[in-house]
Chains A and B, each alone.
Chain A
Amino acid sequence: MANVGYSKKVMEHFMNPRNVGVIENPDGYGKVGNPVCGDVMEIFIKVKDDIITDIKFRTFGCGSAIATSSMVTELAKGKHVDEAVKITRSDVANELDGLPAQKMHCSNLAADALHEAIKDYKNRKQKK
């Protein structure tokens, strides 16, 4: 039933997720999904001179939800926000050596959470 056939890389990120946790007073925060669907992700970013210097996540969800969150934080860390905002869902899936077809939509929200966090950062910056 549950054998969805994850890649080794997905399992590696699921078992050893990078950048787990919370950033107090983040420069940007994004949260997507809802518990009814079974996936909730939140991403915190710290930004200096438009460069993402630190990034953390927390995720409620299945194996691919956790692995994609971990991967997106790795991809975004150290990048300029204008570069990071270009990271797409399929970039994340490709970096993980693919996701099972049925997981491509429901559990691949990590890029969306990152985009929300960057949007939040830009909004805050404008208000300053």
Chain B
Amino acid sequence: MPRIYLDHASSMPVDNRVLEFAKPYLSSSHGNPSSLHSVGLEAKRAMEDARTKIADLIHAENESTIIFTGSATEANNLAVRGIGLRNIAQGKEVVVSAIEHMSVLNPMKELQKNGFSFTTVPVDSTGIVDLKKLETTLTKNTVLTSVMYANNEIGTIEPIRQISTIVHEKGMYLHVDAVAAAGRIPIDVQKDGIDLLTLSSNDLYGPQGAGALYVKPGVKLQSVLLGGGQERGLRSGTENVFAIAGMGEAARIAQQEMQQESSRLIPIRDKLIKEILKIDQSYLTGHPTQRLPHHASFRFSYIEGESILLNMDMYDIQVSTGSACSSKTLEPSHVLLAIGLKHEQAHGSMVLTLGRSTTMDDVQPVSKATYETVQRLRKLSPMSQEWRK
């Protein structure tokens, strides 16, 4: 059986068109964008071209709103620490949703050392941020609120426009981590009312090693990386021109094909969900309809996620899990706990993220492998016997 890769949220292949486009920036056009000679200028032009394409993808005001970084983690750090430290005189409160990525949560916690108070707003059982709670949490001293556009583990799409309205009525800036959403669903930073937005190259079928932060005109940040003053002084360090040029081309292709690709993937996703939920004691995690087009996530009672992942890999099907056993911290996913799952329920999760290689023909073998995996592991499990009694 051919490989079926369903872990696009963890890593995606670089699109061949992107690779072909960006290759010259590793060889013939290898210049440093800061050099004034012709080779340097070629590299600089490639960066500006990428900036324009990325600004187009998110409908930004202009290309100078885009700051390139080395990763989405770095962009999230720049947004959180950059806004917090720059605006320390305006207020010392930061607010996040309970399902943010660690690269948002950890810098937020770090700000506490600078005297900031840090509040987490809960989500409901489908992963949607509690808007009432958000409203009562925000004060005029809240300099930054961070809510992701869509969640990578449960696929839920947040009501960003409503969130933006609430944030701007009371607090100052809204940062949105759009790594999971960008290229999958339309994003318009101006209509959505977003002040800062994080993007990742690899999550757009671009090369690893590039990320970007959109910064709305007029929003001031403190840089967190000091050096030669690249990227308007906000991100010093020689730019990874190859990855950045690739990210730009990846953004262009994603924008061009988004609608078509999403209409292609939604029926596959829905069929997978329908088939897999036929398994006894299986549940969808995340929102049933406000959901990323390529995302299907589940939990199964009485079994553990790392075992599911390894067992599925025996069928050459690659999946992901939020189980503690597969994480570096040995804690179950904070996202699954935030939607109200108990520890033992969070252990039994499986996440499928579809991509350009996924077809309707994959549904049958994946559903069958999932069924057999769950059956086998339940036979081994003492907990399922207790339940049958």
Q: Do A and B bind each other?
A: yes
Q: Mark A residues whose CB is within 8 Å of B.
A: 1-2, 4, 6, 11, 14-15, 17, 20, 22, 31, 35-42, 58-63, 65-66, 102-103, 106-107
The answer on a CB contact under 8 Å between A63 and B307 is yes
Evaluate whether A36 and B326 lie within 8 angstroms (CB atoms) in the complex, with A1-B10, A20-B380, A58-B385 already known.
no
Given contacts A1-B10, A39-B325, A41-B382, 7 further A-B contacts (CB under 8 A): A2-B306, A17-B380, A38-B332, A39-B304, A40-B382, A63-B306, A106-B330
Bound Cα distance A107, B310 (Å): 15
Return chain B residues, CB-CB under 8 Å to A11.
310
Among the listed B307, B344, B347, B382, which residue makes an inter-chain contact with A14, where contact means beta carbons less than 8 Å apart? B307
Residue of B nearest to A36 (CB): B343
Return chain B residues, CB-CB under 8 Å to A62.
304-307, 323, 325-326
Return chain B residues, CB-CB under 8 Å to A15.
311, 314
The answer on a CB contact under 8 Å between B381 and A1 is no
Among the listed B304, B327, B328, which residue makes an inter-chain contact with A60, where contact means beta carbons less than 8 Å apart? B304
Most chain A beta-carbon contacts within 10 A, residue among B10, B306, B314, B323: B306
**Interchain Cβ contacts under 8 Å between A and B, 8 examples:** A1-B326, A2-B326, A14-B311, A35-B347, A36-B344, A58-B381, A59-B382, A60-B382
Among the listed B302, B320, B342, which residue makes an inter-chain contact with A1, where contact means beta carbons less than 8 Å apart? B320
B321 at interface by CB-CB < 8 Å: yes
Q: Interface majority SS on A: helix, strand, loop or mixed?
A: mixed
B324 at interface by CB-CB < 8 Å: yes
Return chain A residues, CB-CB under 8 Å to B326.
1-2, 4, 62
Return chain B residues, CB-CB under 8 Å to A103.
325
Bound Cα distance A10, B314 (Å): 13
The answer on a CB contact under 8 Å between B323 and A38 is yes
B379 at interface by CB-CB < 8 Å: yes
The answer on a CB contact under 8 Å between B307 and A35 is no
The answer on a CB contact under 8 Å between A1 and B304 is no
Bound Cα distance A107, B304 (Å): 12
Evaluate whether A59 and B381 lie within 8 angstroms (CB atoms) in the complex, with A35-B344, A66-B307 already known.
yes
B18 at interface by CB-CB < 8 Å: no
Bound Cα distance A31, B307 (Å): 20
Instruction: Assign chain B's interface to a size class.
Output: 20 to 34
Among the listed B305, B311, B383, which residue makes an inter-chain contact with A35, where contact means beta carbons less than 8 Å apart? B383
Q: Which of B176-194 contact A (CB under 8 A)?
A: none
Bound Cα distance A38, B326 (Å): 11
B354 at interface by CB-CB < 8 Å: no
Most chain B beta-carbon contacts within 10 A, residue among A20, A37, A61, A106: A61
B197 at interface by CB-CB < 8 Å: no
Q: Which of B345-369 contact A (CB under 8 A)?
A: 347
A115 to chain B, nearest CB (A): 18
Bound Cα distance A62, B344 (Å): 12
B309 at interface by CB-CB < 8 Å: yes
Among the listed B307, B320, B328, B379, which residue makes an inter-chain contact with A61, where contact means beta carbons less than 8 Å apart? B307
Bound Cα distance A58, B302 (Å): 12
The answer on a CB contact under 8 Å between B309 and A38 is no
Bound Cα distance A107, B383 (Å): 17
B377 to chain A, nearest CB (A): 8
The answer on a CB contact under 8 Å between A22 and B385 is yes
A59 to chain B, nearest CB (A): 6
Among the listed A2, A37, A65, A66, which residue makes an inter-chain contact with B320, where contact means beta carbons less than 8 Å apart? A2
Return chain B residues, CB-CB under 8 Å to A31.
382
Return chain B residues, CB-CB under 8 Å to A39.
304, 325
B215 to chain A, nearest CB (A): 30
